[in-house]
Chains A and B, each alone.
Chain A
Amino acid sequence: MSAAPNVSSAPLAASAGARRGLGGLLRRGAVFLLLALLVVVFATAEPAFLGVANFMSVLQAVSVVAILAVGVTISMAVGGFDLSVGAVAASSVMAASYAMVVWRLDAAETVALTLAFGLIVGLVNAALIVVVGVPDLLATLAMNFLLTGLQLIPTAGRSIATGLILPSGVSANGAFDPSFLAIGRARLFNVAPIPVLLMIAVGALAFVLTERTRIGRLLFAVGGNEIAARLAGARTERIKTLAYAISATLASLGGVIVAARVGRGDVSSGASLLLDAVAAALIGFAVLAARRPNVFGAVVGAIFVGVLLNGLTMLNVPYYTQDFVKGAVLVGALGLTYGLGRSTT
């Protein structure tokens, strides 16, 4: 992260640096310390927790949320907030299933079509925000509603599997392409699930894009001060459009992974994806005390929540407490980031 404080001789910076000290170090590493603590506690209570297999299953469980959280983070970098990612992912599950079962497309065609669907939704979001001037939260929330409803219409609310009876009365007899299912189910070298590899690839690419390229600078410049960015010659409309296009395309990639894992177009898939992704992106603010959207933090945030839920499940904590736990983590992380941050700056 580039948020590292600079070693400096200026009186102002030096005194700020002195005040950072141990407290600052604790704050920056808080999420990692907690993560380590959780691992120790869970491993003590349940030795199977530490196995590679379990570790991979945690990562596989969080991969979709992490990919969506990266998208949300990029929308936050431009000062926006993409609340449509949950519905984009869910409707992508339906779109991919429909493409294979009804239209009998193969894996490559299905993936291309689904990602194109996500891209188009992102462009519509951007048009609403940039051209029409709808506030970002409202535009993407409205899109969330629209897609949640739209995905039910082609199948009259039924889930999609081979033998689906369409509203016209025709039976659709296409099937999920096995190579499509591999996206969600195969493992590289029999160890690393493809979704985990996709998560790592998306995280790495997005990290480089946001932190190490001039496009990333412009994303944060637009989000930090849009007027200043525009007066510095940035095409702010294009930058915002790019951010929402990336966000929605990543969400549809998440939908592809869910469809490939589940192997059917389930109308209720992706119900909790939006809030989980937003939570991960926000917990990311606390990672390294960045106090800003950052890709690395979002991925770590998703993994943190995944480890917590996996461990609690192993300890037989009831399933219905999961949302409460996630919420508590989010409240704690944000309180830590902003509350303690204020006193030291």
Chain B
Amino acid sequence: MNATRDKARTALAGRAIAKRFGSTQALSGVDFELVGGEIVGLMGANGAGKSTLVNILVGATQADSGELRLDGRPYRPAAPREAARVGVVAIHQATDRAGAPGLTVAETLLIDRFADGRTGFFVSPASIRRQAVEIAEASGFALPLDRDFADIGPAERQLVAIARAIASQAKVLILDEPTASLSQAESERLFAILDGLAARGLAILYISHRTQDLRRLANRVLVLRGGREAASCVRPIDFTAALEAMIGRPLAGAHIAAREVAGEVALQVSALRLGRDRPPIDLAVRSGEVVAITGPLGAGKSRLLLTLFGALPIVEGEIRLDGQPWRPRNPAEAIAAGVHMAGEDRRRTSLTPADWPGGSVSAAIALPHLARWFPSGFLSGGIERSHALDAIRRLGIRASGPDARLDTLSGGNQQKVVLARWQAVEPRVTLLDEPFQGVDVGARADIAAAVRAQTEVATLIATSDPEEALEVADRIFLLDDRGLRPFSESAADGGSASTGVSP
């Protein structure tokens, strides 16, 4: 980008980084430069290549081509451990990986030293305590050193992760949506800490959708789209331009999907609380309508869907299904009543191992419908197969056939299989939690079209990416610690999770 920049200060630079997964080109020639003392924002929709880039930087995966340099020397980490040793550390969104339940915070801070043997073989509680205090002081955080890691909240876990990174002499710090689970005050504290770290010469790559975070922090913003650099903005950053580069079209009229739907109210939620201390939620979804709920991680989007699906108990409030009170006790009851749900993270919540029985496309689609399709109990006849063939045709699933093992399908096609499972029998209500997770742009459009084609079904989608909501939903709401409200209002007041999309 800028060859005249002082080489001594350049911490990490990449040139023409490319990476392909199967048929998906995740990154196609990205250039970037992180300089000590600077905070660089990284923006991009799901599937733009952000995670792939981060994984390459920390050695979790290797680039197919291109060149990385750390302090001017070639840098090709084979594993995160190797990257950490030379000072490149990523702090993941899932902060539960920053430590282990059963260890105190003090012990958690010392895990790296235990692992590399710096503590010696025998450790005393006093020496752990002393070293932990040193690490905490070096980071400048007040950490509850004696508490169990399992008992501290996401904000404190985030700080523990950062403190560990600083203690391991990090030169480059990568943060992935660090404020997703933080309150406003906690975020402010984190920003001050990051400013301090940058002033001490660390290079920071800050991945976020939140323009107000980036406005507050970033010296520069790099925007990825479809695996390429779509824009690179320096201060003063024009966030409208950055967002337009991110989504690839003008912001005005971004909500292309909105329709007026006049169906009957299928799902009615009244004064539902997702926890004793959470605000009540009111929501109505009409038959044929697609409603999306967006909001930060941990705001309760998944919790809401799981409650409607009977997988979590109703804390307080009322749900009505087609006007009748609805209190499902488990998913089986919900499915029997025509309420379907595809959970987030398909590998965890939807798919069974590909090399076990039930690991084919047709069996994955059939799983919830076995009792209905095979009343005799025996797996006979072609019903499973014909449903699979129908789904393959309708959703454009790229698979060798109904018997194809799921692990031969790309992420987007696996996600289509999950959707096909819940569309194989027409429901009253479909709940989709992060249906575009790890899905490329093409499959995303197919999935959105298939969801919107269901004119007799009320669909409720949870997504942390407002861009996805704009593409698929007729109406959009924001759920955060203040409750549920229309997304357009939240955008006007610079809402906590919005990309700042405004008409």
Residues of A within 8 A of B (CB): 2-3, 6, 8-13, 16, 210-218, 220-221, 223-225, 227-235, 291-292
Instruction: Give 6 nearest A-B pairs by CB, closest first.
Output: A8-B400, A224-B352, A214-B370, A10-B400, A233-B335, A232-B368
Instruction: Give the distance in Å from the alpha carbon of A233 to the alpha carbon of B421 in the complex.
Output: 12
| Residues of chain B contacted by A230 (CB below 8 angstroms) | 311, 330-331
Q: Is B74 an interface residue (CB 8 A)?
A: no
Do the beta carbons of B379 and A217 come within 8 Å of each other? yes
Instruction: Give the distance in Å from the alpha carbon of A227 to the alpha carbon of B335 in the complex.
Output: 15
| Residues of chain A contacted by B371 (CB below 8 angstroms) | 214
* Among B143-151, B315-323, B342-350, the stretch in contact with A: B342-350
Do the beta carbons of B404 and A220 come within 8 Å of each other? no
Interface range on chain B (Cβ under 8 Å from partner): 35 or more
A112 to nearest B CB, angstroms?
Answer: 25
Do the beta carbons of A232 and B353 come within 8 Å of each other? no
Q: Is B363 an interface residue (CB 8 A)?
A: yes
Do the beta carbons of B374 and A231 come within 8 Å of each other? no
| Residues of chain A contacted by B401 (CB below 8 angstroms) | 6, 8
Q: Is B122 an interface residue (CB 8 A)?
A: no
Do the beta carbons of B404 and A6 come within 8 Å of each other? yes
Instruction: Give the distance in Å from the alpha carbon of A34 to the alpha carbon of B366 in the complex.
Output: 38
Please tell me which one of the listed residues B330, B349, B360, B366 contacts residue A228 in the complex, with CB atoms under 8 A apart: B349
| Residues of chain B contacted by A225 (CB below 8 angstroms) | 348, 351-353
Q: Provided the pairs A13-B405, A228-B348, A231-B341 are in contact, do residues A221 and B358 lie with their beta carbons within 8 angstroms?
A: yes
Do the beta carbons of B343 and A231 come within 8 Å of each other? yes
Do the beta carbons of B352 and A13 come within 8 Å of each other? no
| Residues of chain B contacted by A232 (CB below 8 angstroms) | 331, 335, 350, 367-368, 421
Nearest residue, chain B, Cβ from A230 = B331
| Residues of chain B contacted by A229 (CB below 8 angstroms) | 352, 367
Instruction: Give the distance in Å from the alpha carbon of A211 to the alpha carbon of B311 in the complex.
Output: 29
Nearest residue, chain A, Cβ from B335 = A233
Q: Is B121 an interface residue (CB 8 A)?
A: no
| Residues of chain A contacted by B353 (CB below 8 angstroms) | 224-225
Do the beta carbons of B408 and A10 come within 8 Å of each other? yes
Instruction: Give the distance in Å from the alpha carbon of A279 to the alpha carbon of B454 in the complex.
Output: 51
A161 to nearest B CB, angstroms?
Answer: 44
Do the beta carbons of B351 and A220 come within 8 Å of each other? no
Instruction: Give the distance in Å from the alpha carbon of A3 to the alpha carbon of B359 in the complex.
Output: 10
15 example contacts (A-B, Cβ-Cβ < 8 A) are as follows: A6-B401, A8-B401, A10-B404, A12-B408, A213-B379, A217-B358, A218-B370, A220-B358, A224-B359, A225-B351, A227-B343, A228-B343, A228-B351, A228-B352, A230-B331
| Residues of chain B contacted by A6 (CB below 8 angstroms) | 360, 400-401, 403-405
Q: Is B116 an interface residue (CB 8 A)?
A: no
Q: Is B398 an interface residue (CB 8 A)?
A: yes
Do the beta carbons of A223 and B356 come within 8 Å of each other? yes
Instruction: Give the distance in Å from the alpha carbon of A235 to the alpha carbon of B310 in the complex.
Output: 13
Please tell me which one of the listed residues B23, B309, B352, B355 contacts residue A3 in the complex, with CB atoms under 8 A apart: B355
| Residues of chain A contacted by B125 (CB below 8 angstroms) | none
Q: Provided the pairs A215-B377, A217-B357, A217-B358 are in contact, do residues A13 and B349 lie with their beta carbons within 8 angstroms?
A: no
Do the beta carbons of B350 and A231 come within 8 Å of each other? yes
Do the beta carbons of A13 and B408 come within 8 Å of each other? yes
